[in-house]
């Protein structure tokens, strides 16, 4: 990416006031005094805590996406680019697994039968 003189000046024109404002806010916030709560920064202090009844009945959920990119740990674009010939994700997938299919369940069965994945 080529940075032009005009783009650099625009960036600096916005950065200088932001830096000065940041310093002013830091000075104003440094005078803030926090009240001490019922706990101290020790494990013993937290050991006396009892969980409220409403929290015990609370439902907790985590959304996790375990797609093709989770196996190779190459990020979210792996799942898209593994279908595009010429992309490094496509080459990696063909070398380490199989040719990417159009229907995933059939592909998984084929790869597992011949032992390549």
CA-based radius of gyration for the chain: 27
- pLDDT mean across residues, the chain: 75
What residues of the chain score a pLDDT lower than 50? Answer: 107, 117
Structure-token pair, residue 67: 């797609």
| 102-116 pLDDT tens trace | 655 554 555 555 555
Percent of the chain with pLDDT over 70: 68
Give the whole-angstrom CA distance, residue 68 versus residue 84: 14
| 37-48 pLDDT tens trace | 888 888 888 888
Under 8 Å between Cβ of 104 and 110 = no
Q: What length is written for the chain?
A: 117
Domains of the chain, by residue range, sit at: 68-114
Under 8 Å between Cβ of 79 and 67 = yes
pTM of the model: 0.33
């Amino acid at each position: 990416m080529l940075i032009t003189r005009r783009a650099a000046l625009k960036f600096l024109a916005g950065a200088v006031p932001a830096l000065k404002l940041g310093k002013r806010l830091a000075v104003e916030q440094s005078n803030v005094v926090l009240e001490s709560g019922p706990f101290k920064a020790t494990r013993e202090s937290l050991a006396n805590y009892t969980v409220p009844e409403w929290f015990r009945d609370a439902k907790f959920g985590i959304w996790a996406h375990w797609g093709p990119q989770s196996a190779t740990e190459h990020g979210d674009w792996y799942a898209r680019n593994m279908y595009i010939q010429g992309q490094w994700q496509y080459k990696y997938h063909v070398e380490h697994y199989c040719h990417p299919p159009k229907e995933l369940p059939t592909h998984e069965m084929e790869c597992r039968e011949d032992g390549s994945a």
